[in-house]
Structure 1
Amino acid sequence: MTPAPSASVATPRIAIVGSGFSGIGMAIRLQQMGITSFTIYEAASGIGGTWRDNAYPGAACDIPSHLYSFSFEANPSWSRAFSAQAEILDYLQHCARKYDVERYVRCNTKVSAARFDETRQLWLVDIDTNGARETIEADVLIAANGLLSRPALPRIDGIDRFEGKLFHSARWDHAYPLDGKRVAVIGTGASAIQFVPCIQPRVAHLDLFQRTAPWVMPKPDKPVGPRAHWLFRTLPFTQRVVRSALYWQHESRALAFVVNPKLMNAAMKFGRSYLERRVKDPVLRAKLTPNYRIGCKRVLLSSEYYPAVCQPNVDVVTSGIREIVADGIVTEDGVHHHADAIICGTGFQVNDVRAPFEVTGLDGTDLSTLWLRDGPQAYLGVSIANFPNFFMLAGPNTALGHNSMIYMIESQLQYIVDCLRVLRRRNARTMTLRADVQRDFNARLQKDMRHSVWATGCQSWYQTKSGKVTALWPGFTFSFRKLTRRVRPRDYRFAP
């Protein structure tokens, strides 16, 4: 459905872009406020966001199931300590059904651009539904696309000349048979360490192209038994106790991530010991040994990755890639690596990129231009100066290295609904973040970042090419929740 043709301050027309955890959570909170004049625009054919798109073999979460879920909708039936992709997607679909979100979702509808009409004080949003284009009006625009929504293909000469099968892990081609094939995998990040152990037994040979060795820790995954399911269903408070314990266990890790990176020394010692136990070949072990402080890049969890790369049909290639040719990959040392298929486990576009869609605010301010110039930047990852009534979920500097992203999303949901309450109380048409508030906030944020593990010298998707960390929150999550609990009206300018 589309937003109602007319609106007031009490019933704003709201356009939500994306139907993952953020979009579904936003829809639930709006209904709790009594607001039903909203539409979720989803480019894909179904809801789920990253857990719909990332359906590669072995896809799973690296945050415990009881913590990686909405606080208001516990699932007593998680099958494992760390849920797989299909189970998380089922959970999101369950939430959408239970809270009557589905009827507000418009699938196969891509938002291509949005511009603020200063005369009428509203957003004009360009959408494309199966090739049919139209422009809708919205009083409030909420971007719930998420950080990891745009796959990044590697910029390698000749990538278009490859005559075999090439795809990104987030666009896995399940119809293509890997069995008996020579497969090249580019990248050794969070996705690759999950799907490599799954495809290794099937392929004839696997060349794994590694630019930087990641820190890999064993994953304490195990099935959740029927007794625990019964306990969580019969006595729900027990699951809340488990969730709380997991939260504080993970939150304590922030001491090493953002307070004193030297506390990572013990984790590094354990990580090296784990590598030595699982990889006996000294040459291969040297290739797999990280050369940076743990936590500076994403810490990966897998108990299957090291055993998989030790198999005789796997080669870990550390020489840089020179080019992709019709039948494989040529590395800088001149070696030709034949491949029937190339799988890119190369992550997502997060930094040094445009906004998720074209967004134009006051005085023609273009969000992509700002982000390409200064790196992604916002206030609390939610509001951006010069963009009235425009809010983001999981925006800049809200990702985590130590705890559940759902906690951060719920904090932002609270902030946005409070923004809507403030608009209603003030009988205001729009609220626009003050530029000095955004500037001062980000100056403090980057100052805090200098003490974190992410500023210890490595290069990752957390940073822009200049080294500015624009993806992660440099503090405790409970501190972020305190900041987002209530809106400070003095941070904004209001238009009647």
Structure 2
Amino acid sequence: MIRVAIIGAGLGGIAAAVKLRKAGAACTIFEQSSGVGGTWFDNRYPGCEVDVHSHAYSFSFLKYDWPRTHATQPELLAYAEHVVERFGLRPHLRLNTRVTDLVWEESTSTYRLSTEHGDTEEFDVVVSALGLLSVPRYPQWPGLDTFAGPGFHTSRWEEHDLAGKSVAVVGTGSTAVQIVPAIAPQAGQVYVYQREPGWVEPKNEHDFSPRQRWIFRNVPLAQRLNRARIFHNGNRRFRGYDTGSRRQHRMRALCERFIATTIKSPPTRTAVTPDYPWGCKRPILSSTFYPALNRDNVELVPHAVRRVTPTGVIDETGAERKVDVLVLSTGFQPTKFLAGIDVKGRDGRSIHDVWRERASAFMGITVPGFPNFFILYGPNTNGGVSVIAQLERQAEVVVGAVRRLARTRRGSIDTSPDAARRFVEWVDRKLATSASAMSSGCHNYYHDPSGHNVTQWPGGHLAYAVATRFVARFGLRTTR
């Protein structure tokens, strides 16, 4: 039986474990946190919820009774726990165990895996399911370490009584737009610092009615049909990333109409309206952020932060505002793939040395010279309507490779360098005309310091499903 190590017990690691166990592989899941769920275990800030429809942000192999269109963080955590119990993964979990090193042993065609506790084990196959948004980005503002009050990143949320307090929320991305409406009713004053506006669409979230939930539970095809509808609409929406398309103009018009009909203050309307194409940044879905800006105790500061004092925040105009609590909604470092793990492949090469100029992988899953090593949520796989569906397709590639190893009785599966090169060239060509290209004029998290877009998949989910099913196998080769 092939022994597989899965690093990470988020939804990607869970998907891989379910599919690999069905294929007869022996799995061990290593998780550095004390529970499963990945990002939904780490992020517990007020208002935290997913911005993808629940029926799409869940596994295709399990029907689930979702209570609302967009699941909250507690509901997603409960879902992860449910899947673990439903498929008997609990005995295979190693919680509170961070993997530090992987070393390929050519003589045995195995990886030697080391943990923070000093333990070592050997595995035939290793799957990294670390996730994309897991390493917080902390700003380098002068004086940040001198701030006297509570100050923390949103992914490391600290519970404080905000009643009557002055709170600065720095950032207006997908996390901040959830936090601001959630804390504004309790806080005395909320300052929202916006370096650059983002296109915001109405989310239209709501609870399912008892009748809807009954239909989704009891009518066999209802949930599948709704899921298919979501993916169909998502694939149509993806056409908007072409800056010259009619869909691009429609999406901009939708967002502009949302601003005009929701925000009362003309200066605020102007401040939140981007001057770059829709899709240049990750589009934001929120029905409650703009209304929160109408509150008397919420002020939008359309300027970047310059520095921090012990008692306040100074923006780029030099204006200082006194605050009691500082919330950093400053994002993550998604281009630092496999951060915290040293992976050595053939000839002792470190994957971080191979990626010195650019992180890349064939189909975002495998890297030449690192046999039997697979990455979920790897380079250029973000997007495609729902990351859960992307993760399932990646897990299926892993299952196919494991079955191939068992069938051929060969020691390893490696990646053709030529196939990997052609894949990256194709990705670059497709992304060059996308709204997310650097030439579109916005700041986004997609690009590495050298300007390569290393995070985004340049198409909808259907294209990725076809590529992983029919193309991936031609880039992988078995060796002795």
Smaller-chain TM-score bracket? over 0.9
Given the alignment of the two structures, is residue 161 of structure 1 paired with residue 161 of structure 2, yes or no? Answer: no
CA distance in 1, matches of 2:276, 2:425: 26
CA deviations on 1:420-471 (whole Å, 9 max, x unpaired) are 1111222111111122211111011111111222123322001223332111
CA distance in 1, matches of 2:211, 2:317: 56
Structure 1 partner of 2:371: 388
Where 1:208 maps in the other structure, the secondary structure is strand
Give runs of aligned pairs for residues 101-112 of structure 1, distance below 5 A.
101-112=89-100
Pairwise CA distance, 1:262 = 5.2
Q: Is the 8 A contact 1:462 1:472 kept in 2?
A: yes
Q: Is the 8 A contact 1:422 1:489 kept in 2?
A: no
Per mean C-alpha deviation after superposition, the further-off stretch among 445-454 and 357-366 is 357-366
Q: Is the 8 A contact 1:354 1:369 kept in 2?
A: no
Q: Is the 8 A contact 2:170 2:329 kept in 1?
A: yes
Structure 2 partner of 1:45: 34
Give runs of aligned pairs for residues 306-317 of structure 1, distance below 5 A.
306-317=290-301
Structure 2 partner of 1:72: 61
CA distance in 2, matches of 1:113, 1:301: 38
CA distance in 2, matches of 1:490, 1:371: 23
Q: Is the 8 A contact 1:145 1:356 kept in 2?
A: no
CA distance in 1, matches of 2:337, 2:356: 6
Structure 2 partner of 1:336: 320
Tell me which amino acid in the other structure corresponds to 1:452: S
CA distance in 2, matches of 1:204, 1:67: 38
Figure out how many residues of one structure are paired with residues of the other and give that number: 478
CA distance in 1, matches of 2:244, 2:223: 32
Q: RMSD of the TM alignment (CA)?
A: 1.7
Pairwise CA distance, 1:238 = 1.5
CA distance in 2, matches of 1:34, 1:17: 19
Structure 1 partner of 2:309: 325
Give runs of aligned pairs for residues 9-28 of structure 1, distance below 5 A.
11-28=1-18
Given the alignment of the two structures, is residue 481 of structure 1 paired with residue 461 of structure 2, yes or no? Answer: no
Pairwise CA distance, 1:494 = 2.8
Tell me which amino acid in the other structure corresponds to 2:209: G
Distance 1:157 1:358, change over 3 A: farther
Tell me which amino acid in the other structure corresponds to 2:32: A
Structure 2 partner of 1:421: 403
Distance 1:319 1:238, change over 3 A: closer
Of residues 382, 387, 404, the one that matches 1:399 is: 382
CA distance in 1, matches of 2:248, 2:471: 35
Q: Is the 8 A contact 1:156 1:322 kept in 2?
A: yes
CA deviations on 1:25-44 (whole Å, 9 max, x unpaired) are 11111111112x22100000
Tell me which amino acid in the other structure corresponds to 1:153: Y
Give runs of aligned pairs for residues 119-130 of structure 1, distance below 5 A.
119-128=107-116
Given the alignment of the two structures, is residue 96 of structure 1 paired with residue 84 of structure 2, yes or no? Answer: yes
CA deviations on 1:314-344 (whole Å, 9 max, x unpaired) are 2222233221222222223222222211111
Of residues 109, 123, 133, the one that matches 1:138 is: 123
CA distance in 2, matches of 1:350, 1:488: 24
Q: Is the 8 A contact 2:365 2:374 kept in 1?
A: yes
CA distance in 2, matches of 1:326, 1:257: 43
Where 1:47 maps in the other structure, the secondary structure is coil
TM-score, normalization by structure 2: 0.96
CA distance in 1, matches of 2:352, 2:225: 43
Pairwise CA distance, 1:354 = 6.1
Where 2:191 maps in the other structure, the secondary structure is strand
Q: Percent identity?
A: 35
Where 2:148 maps in the other structure, the secondary structure is coil
Given the alignment of the two structures, is residue 379 of structure 1 paired with residue 370 of structure 2, yes or no? Answer: no
Give runs of aligned pairs for residues 255-334 of structure 1, distance below 5 A.
255-257=239-241, 261=245, 263-334=247-318
Where 1:453 maps in the other structure, the secondary structure is coil
CA distance in 1, matches of 2:158, 2:305: 24
Given the alignment of the two structures, is residue 190 of structure 1 paired with residue 174 of structure 2, yes or no? Answer: yes
CA distance in 1, matches of 2:264, 2:227: 37
CA distance in 2, matches of 1:162, 1:261: 47
Structure 2 partner of 1:55: 44
Of residues 403, 408, 427, the one that matches 2:390 is: 408
Distance 1:309 1:396, change over 3 A: same
Q: Is the 8 A contact 1:255 1:263 kept in 2?
A: yes
Distance 1:367 1:250, change over 3 A: same
Of residues 330, 340, 343, the one that matches 1:346 is: 330
Structure 2 unmatched ranges of 5 or more:
none
Structure 1 partner of 2:421: 439
CA distance in 2, matches of 1:332, 1:354: 34
Pairwise CA distance, 1:202 = 1.0
CA deviations on 1:175-226 (whole Å, 9 max, x unpaired) are x212211111111100000011010111111111111101111111111011
Distance 1:481 1:136, change over 3 A: same
Pairwise CA distance, 1:488 = 5.5
Of residues 430, 438, 443, the one that matches 2:412 is: 430
Q: Is the 8 A contact 2:169 2:192 kept in 1?
A: yes
CA distance in 2, matches of 1:489, 1:169: 40
CA distance in 1, matches of 2:454, 2:362: 12
Q: Is the 8 A contact 1:41 1:106 kept in 2?
A: yes
CA deviations on 1:14-73 (whole Å, 9 max, x unpaired) are 1100011111111111111112x2210000000001111111111111111111110111
Pairwise CA distance, 1:253 = 1.3
Q: Is the 8 A contact 1:419 1:487 kept in 2?
A: no
TM-score, normalization by structure 1: 0.93
Structure 1 partner of 2:236: 252
Per mean C-alpha deviation after superposition, the further-off stretch among 480-489 and 220-229 is 480-489
Structure 1 partner of 2:23: 33
CA deviations on 1:108-148 (whole Å, 9 max, x unpaired) are 001122122233322122212xxx32222221111001111
Distance 1:327 1:488, change over 3 A: closer
Q: Is the 8 A contact 1:381 1:397 kept in 2?
A: yes
Per mean C-alpha deviation after superposition, the further-off stretch among 210-219 and 116-125 is 116-125
Where 1:395 maps in the other structure, the secondary structure is coil
Pairwise CA distance, 1:486 = 4.8
Q: Is the 8 A contact 1:415 1:487 kept in 2?
A: no
